[in-house]
């Protein structure tokens, strides 16, 4: 059995989720090949070749893949798909954009957000915002799946680099064109892979007061998240959103501040190891899943928390 | 220009779902159903494009049993011009839904297909991308802003690190994210008017599509229950617990 892992990257650095998807590939008991498609992405291929367990790296360096549009990547992956039984991508916006397109081109099903591998044909994944777990058997010989990164422990070891094969397939798609990026700049750890996440909700009242959440996060070296209410109210940008329609996180410690705990939000964080809730409404649903709850005014409690953390 | 919008009937997003005791699925009997929220946003976007005179007709399509007519009537009450129901009592997987929609798209020849980015029941986030692949059209997924020109669309997409703007040539497929717009409500007169708008019912079998099963659902279980913990009475007590009991600080 052979597996192709699509590597998410920005042409310079491998995205950390690659290590989690690689773990899933190794669990399938296969020899994984990592596909790095991009432009001037040689450093990414070199990083990929060092990951423990990687069998080979295929590097396709061509200007047509600079922004990794689904149309080109779909055609590229299909052109090499004959060599693989399984094609894996992270269940990020990158993987979700591409994997279904590949599956349809290959006329096979795609399983989204795999959280558990039972055997080579049987997988678990959450449905209904994580309120049910569906076990599916894939009947197609070739499997295309997106893997939920937080459900697999990342491969952390390194190996002496495996071979990097450079390829030059070019797929032009005149119907789709990249125009621009507006990326959020942050010094904090990435939300999807942070050990500690501090999230704020509607209870923060406005963007100015939301800074309290950021200040607490900085004391803890944590990433900052938000509920949809906080995003819609304009306190923070969209990509901070944790939940069914935002990011799924599973940090060691998740601190929910001024978040009631709607099912859509819980879908994105309920696999966190320890959950702390700070909310003035003692009946808020978030307390039903929080390991530690603190009932009270967040504008009093959070500054105290920051103060005491600084004094430790 | 014609816009096709695909809509799905799902359990209302505010309903707490229950897994069936035999693990065969989720209870849907006597449960409140609604149009998938992402699809409502797709309908709204189509209506706005018609109001800007970019589109001339908005056609909504759904695949499901007769109860999906209600979802289509809702779209008509919001302002869609006509509706198509592809009637099927089976539960269909994303790839087969994409194949059915491809057939409808080939007949209707829309310039734009709008769909929700995911249905909140299966959470798959697949059908728009699959349909784009089958039609050989460009795709703009997770759209939070759409600017329609004569022959192309500029679409801002929500990606993990922020936003990305791409340009796709028509015909194209756009899947909607939550922030694309705020859907309108149907007024009572419009609900009444919608009853007279055309709703064509087609049998899935009449489309003569070779559909096969790719996935078998073995079971649907409730997730592991996370039990509530304790409430602490002070910040100091919380820090103490985090440090010494949970050992996460």
Q: pLDDT tens digits, residue range A246-289?
A: 999 999 999 999 999 999 999 999 999 999 999 999 999 999 99
Looking at residue A152, its pLDDT comes to 96
CB contact under 8 A, B242 and A239: no
Instruction: Assess whether pLDDT exceeds 90 at residue A310.
Output: yes
Is the Cβ of A100 closer than 8 Å to some Cβ of chain B? yes
DSSP 3-state of B247? coil
pLDDT (tens digit per residue) in A143-162? 999 999 999 999 999 999 99
- Domain A2-166: CATH superfamily is HUPs (3.40.50.620)
Q: Check whether A264 is labelled as a binding-site residue.
A: yes
CB contact under 8 A, B242 and A104: no
Residue A109 to chain B, least CA–CA distance (Å)? 6
pLDDT (tens digit per residue) in B208-234? 999 999 999 999 999 988 877 899 999
Separation in Å, CA A146 to CA A100, B148, B176:
9, 31, 20
Mean pLDDT of the region A227-236: 96
Phi, psi of A239 (to 5 degrees): -75, 0
CB-CB neighbors (< 8 A) of B214 in chain A: 108-109, 138-140
**Structure-block tokens of residue A183:** 């990326």
Lowest mean pLDDT among A1-5, A178-182, B2-6, B75-79: A1-5
How far is it, in rounded angstroms, from Cα B76 to Cα B59? Answer: 9
Residue A304 is nearest to which of B13, B122, B235, comparing CB atoms?
B235
Residue B127 to chain A, least CA–CA distance (Å)? 7
Question: Which of B115, B83, B35, B51 lies closest to B196 in space, CA to CA?
Answer: B83
Instruction: Assess whether pLDDT exceeds 90 at residue A135.
Output: yes
Q: Evaluate whether A2-166 and A196-311 have a shared fold.
A: yes
**Structure-block tokens of residue B110:** 């829309």
ipTM reported for the complex surpasses 0.90: yes
Best residue of B10, B31, B129 to probe chain A, by most A CBs closer than 10 Å: B129
Q: What is the reported pTM?
A: 0.95
Instruction: Assess whether pLDDT exceeds 90 at residue A30.
Output: no
Instruction: Assess whether pLDDT exceeds 90 at residue A213.
Output: yes
Residues 30-49 of A with CB under 8 A from B: none
pLDDT (tens digit per residue) in A79-112? 999 999 999 999 999 999 999 999 999 999 999 9
For helices B127-135 and B94-108, the axis angle rounded to 10 degrees is 50
CB contact under 8 A, B164 and A67: yes
CB contact under 8 A, A130 and B223: yes
Mean of the per-residue pLDDT values of chain A: 96
**Residue ranges of domains in chain B:** 2-221
Q: Would you state the CATH architecture of domain B2-221? A: 3-Layer(aba) Sandwich (3.40)
Best residue of A11, A118, A291, A300 to probe chain B, by most B CBs closer than 10 Å: A291
Mean of the per-residue pLDDT values of chain B: 96
Which residues of chain B carry a pLDDT beneath 70?
A: none
Looking at residue A29, its pLDDT comes to 85
Looking at residue A186, its pLDDT comes to 84
Q: Would you state the CATH architecture of domain A196-311? A: 3-Layer(aba) Sandwich (3.40)
Residue B67 to chain A, least CA–CA distance (Å)? 20
Residues 169-228 of A with CB under 8 A from B: 173-184, 192, 196, 220, 228
**Residue ranges of domains in chain A:** 2-166, 196-311
B26 touches A128 (CB < 8 A): yes
Question: Which of A264, A296, A250 lies closest to A277 in space, CA to CA?
Answer: A296
Residue B126 is nearest to which of A100, A139, A270, comparing CB atoms?
A100
Q: Check whether A312 is labelled as a binding-site residue.
A: no
pLDDT (tens digit per residue) in A114-123? 999 999 999 9
For helices A93-106 and B127-135, the axis angle rounded to 10 degrees is 50
């Amino acid at each position: 059995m052979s597996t192709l892992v699509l590597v998410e990257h920005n042409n310079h650095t491998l995205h950390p989720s690659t290590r989690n998807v690689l773990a899933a590939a190794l669990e399938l008991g296969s020899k994984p090949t990592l596909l790095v498609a991009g432009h001037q992405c040689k450093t990414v291929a070199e990083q990929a070749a060092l990951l423990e367990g990687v069998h080979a790296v295929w590097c396709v360096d061509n200007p047509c893949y600079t922004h990794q549009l689904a149309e080109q990547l779909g055609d590229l992956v299909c052109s090499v798909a004959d060599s693989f039984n399984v094609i894996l991508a992270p269940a990020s916006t990158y993987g979700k954009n591409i994997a279904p397109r590949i599956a349809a081109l290959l006329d096979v099903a795609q399983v989204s957000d795999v959280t558990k591998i039972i055997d080579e044909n049987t997988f678990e994944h959450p449905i209904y915002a994580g309120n049910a777990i569906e076990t599916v058997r894939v009947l197609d010989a070739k499997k295309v799946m997106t893997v939920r990164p937080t459900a697999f422990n990342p491969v952390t070891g390194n190996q002496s680099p495996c071979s990097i094969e450079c390829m030059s397939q070019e797929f032009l798609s005149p119907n789709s064109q990249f125009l621009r990026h507006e990326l959020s700049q942050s010094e904090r750890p990435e939300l999807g892979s942070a050990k500690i996440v501090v999230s704020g909700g509607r209870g923060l009242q406005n963007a100015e007061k939301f800074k309290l959440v950021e200040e607490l996060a900085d004391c803890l070296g944590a990433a900052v998240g938000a509920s949809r209410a906080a995003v819609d109210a304009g306190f923070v940008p969209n990509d901070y959103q944790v939940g069914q329609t935002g990011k799924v996180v599973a940090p060691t410690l998740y601190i929910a501040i001024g978040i009631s705990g709607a099912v859509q939000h819980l879908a994105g964080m309920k696999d966190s190891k320890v959950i702390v809730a700070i909310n003035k409404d003692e009946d808020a649903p978030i307390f039903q899943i929080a390991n530690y709850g603190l009932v009270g005014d967040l504008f009093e409690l959070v500054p105290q928390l920051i103060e005491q953390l600084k004094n430790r | 220009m014609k816009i096709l919008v695909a809509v799905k009937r799902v359990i209302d997003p505010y309903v707490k779902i229950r897994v069936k005791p035999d693990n065969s699925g989720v209870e849907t009997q006597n449960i409140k159903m609604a149009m998938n929220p992402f699809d409502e946003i797709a309908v709204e976007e189509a209506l706005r494009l018609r109001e800007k005179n970019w589109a001339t007709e908005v056609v909504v399509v759904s695949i499901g049993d007769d109860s999906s007519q209600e979802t289509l009537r809702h779209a008509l009450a919001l302002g869609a011009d006509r509706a198509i129901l592809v009637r099927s009592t089976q539960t269909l997987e994303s790839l087969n839904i994409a194949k059915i929609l491809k057939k409808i798209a080939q007949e209707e020849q829309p310039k734009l297909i709008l769909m929700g980015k995911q249905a909140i029941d299966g959470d798959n986030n697949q059908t728009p991308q699959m349909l784009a692949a089958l039609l050989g059209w460009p795709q703009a997924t997770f759209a939070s802003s759409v600017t329609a020109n004569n022959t192309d669309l500029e679409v801002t997409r929500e990606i993990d690190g922020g936003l990305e703007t791409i340009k796709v040539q028509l015909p194209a497929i756009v899947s909607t994210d939550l922030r694309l717009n705020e859907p309108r409500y149907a007024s009572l007169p419009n609900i009444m008017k919608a009853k007279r708008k055309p709703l064509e019912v087609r049998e899935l079998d009449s489309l003569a599509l070779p559909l096969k099963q790719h996935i078998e659902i073995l079971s649907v279980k409730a997730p592991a229950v996370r039990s509530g913990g304790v409430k602490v009475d002070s910040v100091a007590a919380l820090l103490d617990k985090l440090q010494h009991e949970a050992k996460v600080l």
